[in-house]
Amino acid sequence: MRENTVLKDLLIDDFEQLVASVNGQADGLFFQQQKEAFNNFAALGFPTPKIEEWKYSNVKNIVNERYTFNQATSVSDEDILSLETPNLEGNILYFINGVYQPQLSRIVSPAEQVLILPLAEARHSHADLLATYFNKLVKNESEAFTALNTAFATEGLFIHVERNKVVESPIVLRFISDTRQGNAGAIPRIVVGVEENAQVKFAESFRTLGDQKSFTNIVTEIHVAESANVEYYKVQMESDEASHIGTTQVKMLDNSHFYAATVCLDGGFIRNNLNILIDGQNCDAYMYGLYLPDGKQHMDNHTLADHNKPNSHSNELYKGILVDQSSAVFNGKIFVRPDAQKTNAYQSCKNIVLSPSAKMNTKPQLEIFADDVKCSHGTTTGQLDEEALFYLRSRGIPKHEALALLMFAFCEDVLANIRIDAIRENLEQIVAKKLNAEEK
C-alpha cells in the first residue's frame, strides 16, 4: 500500500466533488476515461526517487502541499501587459491557473484555417472529433502525473487543423499561475490534431504572478498526420516557488515533420517529458532544449524518440548552463524498433557547470533492435572553454563581457532554431540579460 500524500488526499476529495458535479451528464464518454485514469492515479500514487524515471527529481515536497486547483483569479490588464512578448502577433490564448480566459484572449486565425476551442466547450460541441484525439497517446496506466491530468481533464484547449490547411499565425498558449491569493494549481489538457498535409506552429508559455507556491501538471497530445508539419515551442519562466510537471506526447505518421524547442529559463522545479512516437516512414523529428537553472532551481528534461517505422530521422540537441546550487537532469531515450531499418537518430547534450555546488545528471539511453541504422549520442559536461576566453580577452574584450559572449553563443545554438521571430528575439534578450546578471 502506498503512502498517501497531502496532495493525493486533497485530489481524492476534489475528484469526488467532480464526480458529484458531473453526475450523469452528456459527456459520459470522456468521463468514463477520466474515472479510469483516476483509478490509475490512485493506484500509482505520486512517484518517488525509487522509480528509475524519477531518480534525480524528487517531488516529495511538491506533493505534500495544498493547492487550489483550476480556480481563475481576476487579473488586470497591467498584470498581463508585463507578461506579453513584444511584437508577437497571432492567436494568443490566456489561461489563469489552468482556466481558459476568453476575455483576455484573441483568436485571429480564420475558422476555416483552424479550430481553436476551450476543451470544456469542445467536449460538448465537437465531442466526436475530440474523441478521436483525446487520451489516445498517453500512458495513464504507468504515469501518475499523466493519469492525474487525464482524470481532471476538463480545462485546456483543443486545436484541430483540417487536411491541407496552413495555419499562418502562430497559436500561443499563455499559462499564468496567479499565486497572489495563495497556493495555486493548474491541470490543463491540450489536444492537438493536425490532419494530412496541414501545417501549424504553436507555443506554450508559463509564467507566475505572486510569490506563493504553484503546481502545474500539463499534458499535451499532438497528432501529426501524414505529410503534416508541426512546430511546437515550450517556454518556462516561472518563479522559484513554481513546480511544473509536463508531458508532451507526439505521434507522427508518414512523411511528417515535427519540430520542438523547449526553453527552461526559470522555475523552482521543472520536469518536462517530450515523447515522440515516430510511427511513419520518412519523418523528420527535431528536439531542441535549453535550461538555465540558478539559485536552487531544478530542471529535468526527459525525451524519447521512439522509431517504430523505417527510413525516418530524428535529431536532438539539449544544452544547459548551471550556476549556484542548481541542478538539472537530461535523460534522452532513442528506441529503434525491429521494423525501423535505415533509421537516422542523433542526440547531443552539452552542459556548462559554473559552480561547484551545481549538479548535472545526464543519461543517454539508446535501445536499438534494428541492424541497419545510424545512431549517435554524446554528452559533455564541463567548464567554459578557457582557450576561447583567452582568445576573446587577447582582443581587448574584458573578461566579464567575454564570458557573457561565450555563454550566449552556447545558448544561441539552441535559440537560433526557434522559428517564430518575436519569440526568439524576446528569448535572446532575456537570456543575454540573465547571463549578464549571473556573471556579475
* Nearer of residues 168 and 412 to another protein, judged by Cβ: 412
Q: Give Cβ neighbours of residue 277 (< 8 Å, ≥ 6 apart).
A: 137, 249, 250, 251, 252, 306, 308
Cell of 178: 496567479
* Nearer of residues 203 and 415 to another protein, judged by Cβ: 415
Closest approach of another protein to the CB of residue 183, in Å: 40
Cell numbers 559554473 label which residue? 354
Closest approach of another protein to the CB of residue 377, in Å: 19
Phi/psi of residue 438, nearest 5 degrees: -70, -35
Closest approach of another protein to the CB of residue 270, in Å: 24
Cell of 286: 527535431
CB 85, CB 423: distance < 8 Å: yes
* Nearer of residues 72 and 402 to another protein, judged by Cβ: 402
Neighbour tally for 50: CB within 10 Å: 7
Q: Which of 267, 230, 262, 226 is nearest to 247 (CA)?
A: 262
* Nearer of residues 192 and 414 to another protein, judged by Cβ: 414
CB 179, CB 214: distance < 8 Å: yes
User: How large is the angle between the packed helices 399-415 and 421-439, nearest 10 degrees?
Assistant: 150
Cell of 75: 487579473
Closest approach of another protein to the CB of residue 355, in Å: 20
* Nearer of residues 35 and 393 to another protein, judged by Cβ: 393
CB 235, CB 206: distance < 8 Å: yes
* Nearer of residues 77 and 386 to another protein, judged by Cβ: 386
CB 147, CB 189: distance < 8 Å: no
Neighbour tally for 27: CB within 10 Å: 16
Q: How far is CA 101 from CA 97, 104, 149, 291, in A?
A: 10, 6, 20, 29
* Nearer of residues 254 and 413 to another protein, judged by Cβ: 413
* Nearer of residues 92 and 430 to another protein, judged by Cβ: 430
* Nearer of residues 108 and 405 to another protein, judged by Cβ: 405
* Nearer of residues 401 and 438 to another protein, judged by Cβ: 401
Closest approach of another protein to the CB of residue 413, in Å: 6
CB 327, CB 359: distance < 8 Å: yes
Say whether 158 sits in a helix, a strand or coil: strand
Closest approach of another protein to the CB of residue 353, in Å: 19
Polymer length in residues for the chain: 440
Closest approach of another protein to the CB of residue 395, in Å: 4
Closest approach of another protein to the CB of residue 387, in Å: 5
Neighbour tally for 342: CB within 10 Å: 16
* Nearer of residues 319 and 337 to another protein, judged by Cβ: 319
Cell numbers 521571430 label which residue? 421
**Binding site residues, another protein, CB under 8 A:** 385-388, 390-399, 401-402, 405-406, 408-410, 412-413
**Interstrand relation of 115-118 and 284-291 (parallel, antiparallel or unpaired):** unpaired
Closest approach of another protein to the CB of residue 393, in Å: 4
Closest approach of another protein to the CB of residue 292, in Å: 15
* Nearer of residues 37 and 404 to another protein, judged by Cβ: 404
CB 68, CB 185: distance < 8 Å: yes
Q: Give Cβ neighbours of residue 129 (< 8 Å, ≥ 6 apart).
A: 122, 160, 193
CB 106, CB 220: distance < 8 Å: no
Give burial (CB, 10 Å; 0-12/13-18/19+) of 281: middle
Question: Which letter does DSSP use for residue 181 in this model?
Answer: T
Closest approach of another protein to the CB of residue 414, in Å: 10
Closest approach of another protein to the CB of residue 394, in Å: 5
